[in-house]
Every structure is written in structure tokens, then in C-alpha cells.
Amino acid sequence: DADVTQTPRNRITKTGKRIMLECSQTKGHDRMYWYRQDPGLGLRLIYYSFDVKDINKGEISDGYSVSRQAQAKFSLSLESAIPNQTALYFCATRDGTASTDTQYFGPGTRLTVL
Amino acid sequence: TQLLEQSPQFLSIQEGENLTVYCNSSSVFSSLQWYRQEPGEGPVLLVTVVTGGEVKKLKRLTFQFGDARKDSSLHITAAQPGDTGLYLCAGGSDGGSQGNLIFGKGTKLSVKP
């Protein structure tokens, strides 16, 4: 079984709809991240969480919110989706006690906003 | 602001050729990771290097961390179609930037049979 899972894998929605993307991990890592990936722009950090009570904004948090429901679960919400939020979204985890900053990624969610 | 520049951005080669991808920065990193991403999937970790001058080999892939820990390279020998994908480098700052990774924009490799 995959260590980091994301649901749904694909989603098509309309402008103005509220969308939630979910991430679960079985790695036991304390840190979790949400990124979006756009062609030519690479991976950009949306939000990150060091533990259940520690949530931080990344470089492109506007229009997004997150919830860390448990150490293993981190969800990303688009309160009112807009077309320029069409992208690939990735969740990642990291062991905060590890000596390196290595992150481990989920398989991604392809979101299309019409 | 820390930046990682990857080059080339695109690379299309024939099976059997060798290639090198570069990852450069003016900043020092405590670690450097390389990931490979296939279409529709998430990045998969290939290697982490942490020591200046370190060389790691993974079958036909050779990774090197620069002596000053500001740059890295990935060399693939005798490329195969299965090597096709997006290669990403990412730098860690040992607590700087709250331990978040700085990603390069990637090198898209296509290996034709």
C-alpha cells in the first residue's frame, strides 16, 4: 500500500464551487505539505503543517485553506474555485526529526476548474 | 531568496546516449535531493546527498553534490526509454526556511527508442 495517498485523483468542477482535496499518510511523519504544480512554474508551496496545531502559509496560500485533522491527515480546501486554480496538487510528508529535509510525495490530484 | 536553477529545461535523446542534468544555486544547501516524476504521478525520491563532493550511484544514474554544496549534477549513462520523465532537484537548508525544500523547475527528459 502507498505511504501517502490522495483523494480524489481527478476532479472536474465549476467556478465558484467549494472543493476539498484529502491526503492521508501511514509513514508516521509529523510534517505535511500541500503543493501545486503548473507547467513551467514547478512545484509551489501552498500550506505546510509541522503538527496538528501548527499550520503555516506557503508562497501561494491565497484562495486556499487547510485542516490538519490528525497527524496522518491533511486536507486542502478551495473555498470558491476559479479557473486559474486548475493544476496538479500534491501532498507531501517529512519526518521532522530526520537529519535531512527529504519529503515524500503522494500521487497527486488533477483538478480542473471550468 | 534561495533559488535552484536547473538546466537544461528539456532534453530529447536517443536510447543509448549519455546525458547530464545540472542544478545550480548561489546558496549553500545542507542537503540536495533528486526526484523523478512520471506523467500523472507524484515525484519519487531517487537520492539524497548531504556531503560536499559526495557521489552516489544508482545503477546507471550518478549523482554528485558540489564541493561547496551549491550545485549538483545527475548523469545518466546509456539512457533507456524507461528513464523518460521529469527530473527535479530540491535543496534543503538544515532548518533555514523552516526546513522547507527549495525546488528547481525540472528537466523534462525524453528518451526515444
pLDDT single digits (tens) A19-78: 999 999 999 999 999 999 998 888 999 999 999 999 999 989 999 999 999 999 999 999
> What are the distances in angstroms from CA B34 to CA A56, A68, A113?
25, 28, 31
* Nearest CB neighbour to B42, from listed A99, A100, A106: A106
Report whether pLDDT(A82) > 60. Answer: yes
Q: Which residues of A touch B105 (CB under 8 A)?
A: 40-42
Q: Nearest-CA distance from B99 to chain A in Å?
A: 6
pLDDT (0 to 100) of residue B60: 97
Share of chain B above pLDDT 90, in %: 81
* Residue contact B43–A90, C-beta within 8 A: yes
Interface contact B3, partner A, CB < 8 A = no
How confident is the model over B19-48, as a mean pLDDT?
93
> Please, are residues A58 and A72 in contact by the beta-carbon 8 Å criterion?
no
* Residue contact A42–B50, C-beta within 8 A: no
How confident is the model over B42-64, as a mean pLDDT?
95
How confident is the model over B38-56, as a mean pLDDT?
93
pLDDT (0 to 100) of residue B39: 87
User: What nine digits make up the cell of A89?
Assistant: 496538487
Contacts by A44-53 with C-beta closer than 8 Å and gap 24+? A45/B100, A46/A76, A46/A89, A47/A76, A48/B98, A48/B100, A49/A74, A50/A96, A50/B98
* Residue contact B103–A42, C-beta within 8 A: yes
Chain A from 44 to 103: CB within 8 A of any B CB: 45, 48, 50, 56, 58, 90, 92, 94, 96, 99-103
pLDDT (0 to 100) of residue A98: 80
User: What nine digits make up the cell of B71?
Assistant: 550545485
Say how far residue B74 (Cα) sits from the centre of its chain. 5
pLDDT (0 to 100) of residue A27: 93
How confident is the model over B95-104, as a mean pLDDT?
74
* Residue contact B106–A42, C-beta within 8 A: yes
pLDDT (0 to 100) of residue A62: 95
Q: Which residue type sits at B46?
A: L
Burial class (CB in 10 A: 0-12, 13-18, 19+), A77: middle
Q: Testing the interface with B: which of A38, A93, A101 to mutate, by most B Cβ within 10 A?
A: A101
* Residue contact A108–B88, C-beta within 8 A: no
Mean of all residue pLDDT scores within chain B? 92
Q: Nearest-CA distance from A41 to chain B in Å?
A: 6
pLDDT (0 to 100) of residue B1: 66
Q: Give the list of residues 6+ apart from residue A92 with CB closer than 8 angstroms, or none.
A: A4, A32, A33, A34, A35, A103, A104, A105, A106, B42
pLDDT (0 to 100) of residue A39: 84
In the structure, what pLDDT confidence band is assigned to residue A102 with cuts at 50, 70 and 90? confident
pLDDT (0 to 100) of residue A1: 59
How confident is the model over B55-79, as a mean pLDDT?
96
